[in-house]
Amino acid sequence: MHELALSSAIVNTAAKHADGRRVTVVFLRVGRLRQVVPDTLEFYFEFVARDSVCEGARLEQEVIPATLRCLPCERTWPIDIPAFRCPFCGGSEVEIATGDEFEVESIELQSADEQEEAECIAQR
C-alpha cells in the first residue's frame, strides 16, 4: 500500500526534470527488496499523474533482482528469500549489492510537434 506515496514521488521527480514538457514514458528501476507490487504501482501512478505533466504517461518498470555481498569473504550471491547472513561464512557483515533501487532512470518527453498539436487541440 506504500505504492500510492511512492507514485507521488515518481511523478514529482519526473516533473522536476521535464521542464514543463509533457512526459510520455517514465523509466523506473525498482529493486526486489523494496517490496513494490508493479501492478499496484502502475495503478496508482496513472491516478496520481492526472493533472500533471505525467498525465497519460506509461510507467516502465525494470525489476532489479536482489543480490548480497559479504564484506569479509567478498562473495556475492542472489537471494529469493529474506536471508541476510552470508551462506559461506555465516557472518552478518553483509551489504545489499543490488535490489535496493528505487530510482527514476530516465523520462521520455513529447516532441515539439506533438506538444504544438496538443496545444492546438486544447485551444479549439
Complex with another protein: residue 112 or 121, whichever CB lies closer: 112
CA–CA distance, 21 with 107 (Å, rounded to integer): 11
Task: Give me 24's grid cell.
Answer: 510520455
Smallest gap from residue 118 Cβ to another protein (A): 13
Complex with another protein: residue 35 or 76, whichever CB lies closer: 35
Handedness of CA 41, 48, 10, 95 (dihedral sign): negative
Nearest to 34 by CA among 81, 86, 101, 92: 101
Task: Give me 77's grid cell.
Answer: 550471491
Smallest gap from residue 52 Cβ to another protein (A): 14
Residues that bind another protein (CB under 8 A): 1-2, 5-6, 9-10, 12-14, 17-18, 24, 28, 33-35, 81-85, 92, 94, 102-114
Smallest gap from residue 11 Cβ to another protein (A): 9
